[in-house]
């Protein structure tokens, strides 16, 4: 585990600030920040007073040359491996001292590999995509050279490719054109345990024929060449859609342990195959510590954890607050959160499964007892549903909101504007606006231009 001091790309943050400022009252957004005593700088970006955009340009400027998009997709400007590295980890050519040191490699605890035609035309190539479907120039390039992918993930992907090239069944490249074998997901933890998930399009195979394929792939990874991967569990999911939840198409355990476990913030955490967990474990610990310090919760506070995943943020703060209320769409993640709470002896938490926009209004209404509520939101890239924003905005007991964004523009910008704009009856935004008090970038993605941004709002 090493420390990172990371700065947000200047163009992204300036756009974010300008958009929020456009729709805010004068003086509503005092762009200042203070550095709380005792904060570790591990994984933290610069937090400064005044216009903090001035000090976060360094990384963007240094990485600009490597981020230019080429006009073609042939390997004329370098090998296919270099081209893929330029897309997935565009800062790989820089030492991390140049990126803002030090280097951290192989930090991902989850990787999803696609199956498609490689540079040599072989349709049973396992890796990551270059190109676009719109332009019809998609190429799948092996990824074992990428700095952010652990060797274990690359090893499993390579053996899956070996398996596919032995299989008489074709891969499913385009759904309506047939084929069966699809993507591979690999999850690992800090103890070295490895879970693999194979997605398979059943087409018109009978249950008996499906059983045969499951036994063949199982045998390959238990006693065949794939045994070298040392998998602790192998899952198989039959999927006729791009993405299927466990409810839509159950994950079938072919062998091994049903879960993977991680140690984080003094908690033992259970993680199901499709549960969300931050892909950089060491970075996640600093991210969650940062969130916890910004919330300012105490024994009189209810902590509302929206889009809570496996519940780590709320459960890590449970001892400091009166109650934790979590909301999460993925049912398996909620079951993981409940298991984690029980295993760690946490009794003041409850977790609800479903869409936040449907659960939150009723949940808040049931808590109208004058108790102070601090909300934490950690949405996907699509941001929060507008009804969630309405519920947060219109519930007066929420005086502090910590917003964790993995995408600085797009829907997150709209969310922030609606949180901070003057009351607007037409949009049903009736409560007092929030004021953005602090922004802390946390680097979870070395060698890439991405980071998490933690925003503190109060009112």
The annotated binding site is made up of 278, 328, 378
Instruction: Look at phi and psi of residue 28 and say left if phi exceeds 0, alpha if psi is from -120 to 50, else beta.
Output: alpha
**Angstrom distance (rounded) from CA 401 to CA 432:** 13
Of 48, 60, 244, 406, which one is the catalytic site residue? 406
- Are the C-beta atoms of 59 and 97 separated by less than 8 Å? no
Helix or strand run (H / E) with residue 178: none
Closest alpha carbon to 430 in 395, 398, 387? 395
Residues 223, 229, 235: CA angle, nearest 5 degrees: 80
Instruction: Decide: 95 and 108 in contact? Cβ < 8 Å.
Output: no
Q: Compute the distance between CA of residue 159 and CA of residue 166 in angstroms, rounded to an integer.
A: 11
DSSP code of 433?
P
CA angle at residue 16 from 13 to 19, to 5 degrees? 145
Give the tokens for residue 449. Answer: 């231009």
* Annotated binding-site members for S-adenosyl-L-methionine: 278, 328, 378
Rounded CA separation 288/40 (Å): 12
How many Å apart are CA 459 and CA 392, to the nearest integer?
Answer: 12
CA–CA distance, 364 with 236 (Å, rounded to integer): 39
Question: CB 176: neighbour CB atoms within 10 A?
Answer: 4
Is residue 421 part of the annotated active site? The answer reads: no
**Mutual angle of helices 386-394 and 356-365, in 10-degree steps:** 20
- Which residue, 180, 176, 179, is CA-closest to 198? 180
Active site residues: 406
């Amino acid at each position: 585990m090493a420390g990172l001091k990371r700065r947000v790309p200047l163009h992204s943050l300036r756009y974010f600030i300008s958009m929020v400022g456009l729709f805010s009252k004068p003086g509503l957004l005092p762009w200042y920040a203070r550095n709380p005593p005792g904060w570790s700088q591990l994984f933290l970006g610069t937090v400064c007073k005044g216009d903090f955009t001035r000090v976060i340009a360094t990384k963007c400027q240094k990485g600009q040359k490597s981020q230019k998009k080429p006009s073609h997709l042939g390997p004329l400007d370098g090998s296919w491996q270099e081209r893929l590295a330029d897309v997935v980890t565009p800062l790989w050519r820089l030492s991390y001292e140049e990126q803002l040191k030090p280097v951290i490699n192989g930090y991902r605890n989850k990787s999803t590999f696609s199956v498609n035609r490689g540079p040599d035309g072989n349709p049973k190539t396992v890796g990551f995509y270059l190109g676009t479907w719109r332009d019809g120039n998609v190429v799948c390039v092996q990824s074992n050279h990428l700095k952010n992918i652990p060797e274990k993930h690359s090893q499993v992907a390579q053996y899956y490719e070996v398996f596919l090239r032995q299989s008489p069944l074709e891969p499913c490249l385009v759904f309506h054109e047939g084929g069966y074998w699809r993507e591979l997901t690999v999850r690992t933890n800090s103890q070295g345990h490895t879970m693999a998930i194979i997605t398979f399009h059943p087409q018109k195979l009978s249950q008996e024929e499906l059983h045969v394929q499951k036994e063949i792939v199982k045998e390959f990874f238990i006693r065949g060449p794939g045994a070298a991967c040392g998998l602790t569990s192998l899952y198989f999911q039959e999927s006729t859609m791009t993405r299927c939840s466990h409810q839509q198409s159950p994950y079938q355990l072919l062998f091994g342990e049903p879960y993977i476990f991680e140690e984080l913030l003094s908690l033992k955490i259970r993680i199901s195959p499709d549960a969300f967990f931050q892909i950089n474990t060491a970075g996640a610990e600093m991210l969650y510590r940062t969130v916890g310090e910004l919330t300012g919760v105490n024994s009189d506070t209810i902590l509302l954890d929206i889009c809570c995943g496996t519940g780590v943020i709320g459960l890590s703060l449970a001892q400091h607050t009166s109650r934790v209320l979590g909301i999460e769409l993925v049912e398996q993640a909620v079951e993981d959160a409940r298991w984690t709470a029980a295993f760690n002896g946490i009794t003041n938490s409850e977790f609800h499964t479903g869409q936040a926009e449907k659960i939150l209004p009723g949940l808040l209404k049931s808590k109208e007892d004058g108790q102070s509520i601090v909300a934490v939101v950690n949405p996907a890239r699509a941001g929060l549903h507008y009804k969630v924003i309405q519920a947060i905005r219109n519930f007066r007991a929420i005086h502090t909101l910590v917003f964790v964004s993995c995408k600085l523009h797009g829907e997150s910008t709209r969310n922030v504007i609606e949180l901070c704009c003057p009351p607007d009856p037409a949009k049903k935004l009736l409560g007092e606006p929030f004021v953005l008090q602090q922004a802390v970038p946390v680097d979870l993605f070395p060698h890439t231009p991405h980071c998490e941004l933690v925003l503190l709002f109060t009112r």
